[in-house]
A and B are shown apart, each in its own frame.
Chain A
Amino acid sequence: MLEIKNLHVKIADEDKMILNGIDLIVEDGQVAAIMGPNGSGKSTLSYVLAGKGDYEVTEGQILFNGTDLLELEPDERAAAGVFLAFQYPIEIPGVATMTFLKAAMNAQRAARGEDELTMPEFMRTVRSAAEKLQIDQEMLKRPLNVGFSGGEKKRNEILQMALLEPKLCVLDETDSGLDIDALRIVADGVNALRAPDRSFVVITHYQRLLDYIVPDVVHILSRGRIVKTGDAELARQLEKSGYAEFVDAA
Chain B
Amino acid sequence: MTMQIARTETPAERALAEDFAARGKALGHDAARSALFERFRNIGLPHRRIEEWKYTDLRMKVRDIATPAPFSVSTPAESKGVRVENSIDPIALEERFTGFEGPIVDLIAAFADTGISASVEAGATISDPLRAVYAQAQGKRSHAASVYRFGDRAQATLVETVNAPDGGGQSLQNTHLHVGDDTNITYIRHIDVGAGGTHLGGVAVTLGQNASFRMLLVVSSGDLVRTDIGCRFLGSGANGDLRGLHLAGSSRHVDTTLFVDHAVPDCSSRELFKAVLDDEARSVFQGKILVRPDAQKTDGKMMSQALMLSDTAEADSKPELEIYADDVQCGHGSTTGQIDDTYLFYLMARGVPRREAQAMLVSAFANEVFDDFDETLAAEFSGVSEGWLARHLG
Contact = CB atoms under 8 A, between A and B. Distances in A.
B353 interface: yes
B269 to A, nearest CB: 23
Contacts of B84: none
Contacts of A74: 345, 348-349
Interface string B340-368: 01110111111111101100110111011
Interface string A76-104: 01110001101001101111000110011
7 contacts: A51-B348, A74-B345, A74-B348, A75-B348, A75-B352, A100-B347, A107-B351
B339 to A, nearest CB: 11
A230 interface: no
A123 interface: no
Interface in A157-172: 160, 164
Most buried by A among B349, B352, B367: B349
Nearest to B345: A52
Contact of B343 (A79, A92, A111, A164): A92
B interface, by DSSP: helix, strand, loop or mixed? helix
Interface in B31-68: none
Contact of A78 (B341, B342, B351, B368): B351
Given A75-B354, A94-B368, A51 B349 contact: yes
A100 B360 contact: yes
A83 B350 CA distance: 7
User: Among B341, B346, B360, B363, which residue has the most Cβ atoms of chain A within 10 A?
Assistant: B346
A31 interface: no
Contacts of B341: 53
State the 3 A-B residue pairs at the shortest beta-carbon distance, nearest first: A94-B364, A78-B351, A74-B348
Contacts of B352: 75, 100, 103-104, 107
B340 to A, nearest CB: 8
Instruction: Identify which of B348, B349, B351, B360 gathers the most chain A CB atoms within 10 Å of its CB.
Output: B351
Given A74-B345, A99-B360, A100-B360, A94 B367 contact: yes
A90 B350 contact: no
Contacts, number: 75
A243 to B, nearest CB: 29
Contacts of B345: 50-53, 74
A219 to B, nearest CB: 23
A56 B129 CA distance: 55
B204 to A, nearest CB: 32
B42 to A, nearest CB: 47
A51 B347 CA distance: 12
B361 A164 contact: no
Contact of B349 (A50, A92, A95, A108): A50
Given A93-B364, A103-B356, A160 B343 contact: no
A111 B353 CA distance: 11
Given A53-B341, A90-B343, A100-B360, A84 B368 contact: no
Contact of A95 (B342, B351, B354, B360): B360
Contacts of A99: 360
A92 B352 CA distance: 14
A199 to B, nearest CB: 17
Given A90-B342, A92-B346, A75 B351 contact: yes
A73 interface: yes
Nearest to A109: B351
